[in-house]
């Protein structure tokens, strides 16, 4: 059992550090360029993984502290996020404004359709009415 753990734990650490290094945005990598960190983690699995965990990435308060008075997610209350992730639709005022615009456009189109339908119905009734008046 101990032999398996001595093999599996370093392997799991190496895989996790490698994936974490690849998926970390460039602006959160410390001390060396991201490509160099990837090479270090690949060539020196145990030492490179530990070095990446200790010194390679901004973590904790350094990463979550807002620099420009924004929120902890990385952007201002209504601006784009610095980490490149999309803002949820219900938090994005631009998206909500576009919904209102599209809603107004659809309402205008619906009013035009209704007016066209009324006009066509009146035309059809106008053609039918003279015949009805002659019969009665």
Q: Enter the pTM of the model.
A: 0.44
Dihedral over alpha carbons 60, 61, 62, 66 (to 10 degrees): 130
Q: In 3-state terms, what secondary structure has residue 25?
A: coil
In this predicted model, what pLDDT tens digit does every residue of 22-36 receive, in sequence order?
888 888 888 888 889
Joined tokens for residue 15? 């895989």
DSSP secondary structure letter of residue 89: G
What confidence tier does 60 reach under pLDDT thresholds 50, 70, 90? Answer: low
In this predicted model, what pLDDT tens digit does every residue of 68-114 receive, in sequence order?
444 444 444 445 566 667 777 777 788 888 888 888 888 999 999 99
In this predicted model, what pLDDT tens digit does every residue of 8-20 receive, in sequence order?
888 898 898 889 8
The pLDDT value recorded for residue 80 is 56
């Amino acid at each position: 059992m101990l032999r398996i753990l001595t093999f599996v734990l370093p392997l799991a650490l190496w895989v996790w550090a490698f994936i974490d290094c690849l998926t970390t945005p460039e602006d959160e990598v410390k001390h060396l360029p991201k490509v160099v960190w990837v090479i270090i983690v690949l060539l020196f699995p145990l030492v490179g993984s530990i070095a990446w965990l200790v010194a390679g990435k901004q973590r904790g308060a350094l990463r979550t502290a807002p620099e420009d008075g924004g929120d902890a997610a990385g952007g201002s209350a209504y601006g784009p996020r610095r980490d490149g992730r999309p803002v949820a639709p219900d938090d994005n005022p631009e998206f909500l404004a576009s919904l209102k615009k599209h809603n107004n456009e659809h309402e205008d189109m619906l009013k035009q359709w209704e007016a066209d339908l009324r006009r066509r119905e009146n035309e059809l009734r106008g053609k039918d009415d003279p015949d009805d008046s002659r019969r009665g």
